[in-house]
Structure 1
Amino acid sequence: MTTVEISGEAFLVDGVIANAGRTVRGIPVDGLLLNSRMINGIFDDVNPETRAQWAYPDSGVWDAERNVAEFLAAMGEWRAKGLDAFTIGIQGGSPQGYSETQPWDSGGFDSDGALRPAFAERLRRILDEADRLGFVVIVDYFYQGQEMRLVDEDAVRRATVEATEFLLEGGWRNVMVEIANECNFDWEYTHSRNMRWDRVHELIALAQSVERDGRRLYVSTSFAAIEPIMTAEVLRQADWVLLHGNGTERPERLSEMVAQVKAMPEFTPKPIMFNEDDHFDFDQPHNHMVEALRAGASWGYFDPGSITVFPPQPTLGNYRDGYQAVPVNWGISSEIKRSFFDAISEV
Structure 2
Amino acid sequence: MDFSKSLIQWYLQNKRDLPWRNTVDPYHIWLSEIMLQQTRVAQGLPYFLRFTEAFPTVFDLAKADEEQVLKLWQGLGYYSRARNLHKTAKQVAFDLNGVFPKSYKELLQLKGIGEYTAGAIASFSYNEHVPVVDGNVFRVLSRYFDVETDIASAGAKKEFAGLAAALIPKGEANIFNQAIMEFGALQCVPKNPDCSACIFNDSCLALQKKKVNQLPVKSKKVKVTNRYFNYLVFSDADGNTLINKRTEKGIWHNLYEFPLLETISPERDEAILELIRNQQFAENEIEGIALYDNEVIRHKLSHQHLHIKFWKVKVKGALKNGIDCESASKFPFPIVIFNFIEKVWA
Would you call these one fold, judging by a TM-score over 0.5? no
Structure of higher RCO (CA pairs closer than 8 Å, 6+ residues apart): 1
Q: TM-score range by the shorter chain?
A: under 0.3
Larger Rg: 1 or 2? 2
Higher relative helix content = 2
TM-score by length of 1: 0.24
